[in-house]
Amino acid sequence: MAKKQASGKQSRRGAEIRNPQSAIRNSSALVAILMGSKSDWDTMRHADQTLTDFDVPHECRVMSAHRTPTLATEFSSSAESRGLEVIIAAAGGAAHLAGVIAAHTLLPVLGVPMKSDALNGLDSLLSTVQMPGGIPVGTLAIGKAGALNASLLAIAILANSRPQLRAKLRAFREEQEMKIREAVLD
């Protein structure tokens, strides 16, 4: 289960998620995984795990376009100068986080619609994907597949200028293909 930081400074600035691999504020982070609520973590941990598997420095944080609008604005405005290269933003329902983040940065923003109780994620998907022309959000699938693919897409973006990472991504694809080619049905 994700842990919420309880210190005064961090609780003022919004909840953050810590796990053994991804520091809360990783000064060398290339990718940020943002989510609108701690309740999104069970889905977004799959993105975190994939980036960890690929040894991509990253950070995971909770912030909301609605509940912590100032934090979301501050974070995205300063993201590039802090060395981040890709931002993944997950939200559910009236899912505005990715769009708000994208409005304040030139970095690529990948949106992951969370599966919602009310409409099974269709609301989140439409809110995330239907950005008016001019401020793009690259929107992935609803839920776990979207979380996984957002991290793989972030890796592909970073891999354009990092041959070692590109080799890892190629190996991942080959291993995935091999598993399917060798699948045995009972």
Residue ranges in contact with ligand RP5 by CB under 6 A: 35-37, 39-40, 64, 91-93, 114
Closest to ligand RP5 by CB, 109 vs 114, is 114
Distance CA 55, CA 148 (A): 15
* Minimal distance, residue 86 CB to ligand RP5, in Å: 19
Q: Please name the residues in contact with 130: beta carbons below 8 A apart, sequence gap of 6 or more.
A: none
Closest to ligand RP5 by CB, 32 vs 114, is 114
* Minimal distance, residue 84 CB to ligand RP5, in Å: 20
Cβ atoms of 38 and 15 closer than 8 Å: yes
Structure tokens at 67: 């509940």
* Minimal distance, residue 72 CB to ligand RP5, in Å: 11
Nearest to 94 by CA among 60, 145, 61, 130: 130
Closest to ligand RP5 by CB, 138 vs 143, is 143
* Minimal distance, residue 3 CB to ligand RP5, in Å: 16
Q: Residues 151, 155, 160, CA angle at the centre, nearest 5°?
A: 155
Structure tokens at 66: 């609605």
Closest to ligand RP5 by CB, 28 vs 120, is 120
